[in-house]
Structure 1
Amino acid sequence: MDTPTRNRIAKLNPSARNEETKIENRMIENIDINDGKISLTTKGKNRQVVAQISTEDLKRELQ
């Protein structure tokens, strides 16, 4: 997120700032392939899987 956007958000009420933090914590940093599944994971030391699809489903949809 760019600096002007962060500055605008800083002026918002606390609940809006919390929502921005939640969204930023869900940003994708890694794409992993394990056990036949493609996983999109978040940034940071507490990485979480945001989305997941099997490689077989992806192949089928791309045909």
Structure 2
Amino acid sequence: MAPKGKVVKKKKSPSDRKQAVLKLVLSDTCAVCKTPCARGMRYYEGMKQPGAMGKGVPCILTRTYV
């Protein structure tokens, strides 16, 4: 039992927490980005190599919570 005057918070179950969703962007988006990040620039440099194939990189600037 909690001492008098103390508030006991219930823990949220994992299904009740917000989950961040990041959009996948391609190298052309990273090339024109106004606020380049290390992950995006590393991906962009890799995609400039001949024969490089990529599926995109998660962009932290497009984060939304579900």
Which TM-score band applies after superposition, normalised by the shorter structure?
under 0.3
TM-score by length of 2: 0.25
Of structures 1 and 2, the one with the larger relative CO (CA 8 A, separation 6+) is: 2
What is the TM-score normalised by the length of structure 1?
A: 0.26
